[in-house]
Every structure is written in C-alpha cells, then in structure tokens.
Amino acid sequence: MRNHPIIINPSLLSADFLDLEKSVRDAASSGARMLHADVMDGVYVPNISFGFDIIEKIVSVSSVPVDVHMMTVAPWKYLDELKNAGAYSVTIHSDVGDVCTRRDALARIRSLGMRAAVALKPAHPAGDVADVIDLCDMILVMTVEPGFGGQKFMEDMIPKIRDVKRIAAQAGVDVSVQVDGGINADNIGLCAAAGADNFVVGTAFFSAADKKERYGKLRAAAEKGASREARD
C-alpha cells in the first residue's frame, strides 16, 4: 500500500543561478510541493555547491519546503545551521561515519524538528540502511553517482527501491522513498511502480520553457506508474 503522496521535487542544482529567486518561484508556481537543495563540500564529492546562507535565502522566497541533501563527510557538524536556515528535511549518506554516529545525527535532525533521511549511493545496497531505518522519515535511492548534474539514469537501481520498501516493512516503519538522478518523464513511472513517491528532477524540469506543463507531465507519468504498483 502507498502511504505517501506523489511529490515532484525540482533540484535547484539545475536552476538558473543568475536568477535563483525566479527559479525558486517558478518551481513552486508550477505545482511542485518541495524543492531539493544539494550541499556539496568538495570532499565527499568533487564539486562544491552552495552553503547555508544560500539555503536560508532560498527558504525565504520559497512557498514550499526545502529538502536538503548533504553530500558532505561530516553532516552532523551543520545540523543547527540547517535548522536556522529553515531546512524542512536533511539527508545524510549511509557511508559517512559509523552506525552510532549516523544514528545520533538522525536523532538530532528529528529533535530539531526536521525530517531525517539517509541516501544510498549506487554501489551501496538497501541493507545499509537497516540499522538506522527506524530513525528515518525517508530513504533516498541515488540513481546516478552523487556530485554531478545531468547524468544518465541507472535503471539497475530500480530493484533497490523495492528492497528499501521491503526492509522498511520488515522493520515496521513507514518511510517515503525518494529517487534522485537522471529522472525524467520516460523513467519516473518505472520508479513509481517500484514504490518511490518522491522524485528529484533537475535538468528535465528546469530545462522546460513551460515548467507548469512539464510538472504536469512528470506527475502524470509518476501517477501512472504508481497505479501499476497498486495493481501488482
């Protein structure tokens, strides 16, 4: 049974950085119910993106919640800054720190009033979240290697979505399943049919001249996929 609504989540990494405020407002007015912001430290991934002052400015002009993906080696150092910046949810990776450190970080995220999530890089199996899933509101299945926009969707990650759903069910917890990486109208339905409900879309959203129309097409494709999951 699907317990979470379909959410199309535009990734600001693909936005127009010369007019970021317009990109934020356009995304929200298109119908999107969340915005995705990648924080990169140049260590966990080679690239560097934006910091907490930019997150705060994004939040200040956004009418929808901002979902922050921490591609950093020590995300727990910045949880208070994220809270102060207005982040709605914070995602850390399954391969940073040890299990105790990750559990402490996730508990701290929740104690600060934010939603807590863990991301799985392509090489990491769904089982890597088993020790922390009880502290998660969401699991992110990366469908590209983290750190770069515009990559091709990795279809062989789809079974991992089903594995995450199974692990959550076995643990008796209800988590949203997010996918991020190369998501477009051609593959979003495949992810939805596997059980994903939160779809981070970068280039395929922000490259559209008519973002409201593009949002509608993405959502319709996701809902069609979700209906296949329900029949299965």
DSSP string for 64-77: S-EEEEEESS-GGG
* Token pair 């956004």: residue: 62
User: What is the share, in percent, of the chain residues with pLDDT greater than 70?
Assistant: 96
Q: Over the chain, what is the mean pLDDT?
A: 95
**CB-count burial class (<10 Å; 0-12, 13-18, 19+) for 60:** exposed
Q: What's the pLDDT at 151?
A: 74
Q: What's the pLDDT at 146?
A: 86
| Cα–Cα distance for residue pair 70/174, rounded to 1 Å | 22
CA nearest 85: which of 108, 62, 104? Answer: 62
Q: What's the pLDDT at 121?
A: 97
**What is the mean predicted confidence (pLDDT) over 73-97?**
98
Q: What's the pLDDT at 3?
A: 79
Residues in contact with 108: Cβ distance below 8 Å, sequence separation at least 6, in sequence order? 76, 79
**What is the mean predicted confidence (pLDDT) over 13-36?**
96
Residue 128 has pLDDT above 70, yes or no: yes
Catalytic residues: 38, 180
| Cα–Cα distance for residue pair 187/154, rounded to 1 Å | 10
CA nearest 154: which of 192, 180, 193? Answer: 180
Name which of 1-10, 18-27, 85-94, 181-190 the model is least confident about: 1-10
CB 138 within 8 A of CB 176: yes
Q: What's the pLDDT at 2?
A: 61
- All domains of the chain, ordered by start, with CATH? 7-231 (3.20.20.70)
Asked whether the whole model's pTM tops 0.85, one would answer yes
Q: How confident is the model at residue 229 (pLDDT cuts 50, 70, 90)?
A: low
pLDDT, one tens digit per residue, over 42-59 is 999 999 999 999 999 999
Residue 34 has pLDDT above 60, yes or no: yes
CB 216 within 8 A of CB 208: no
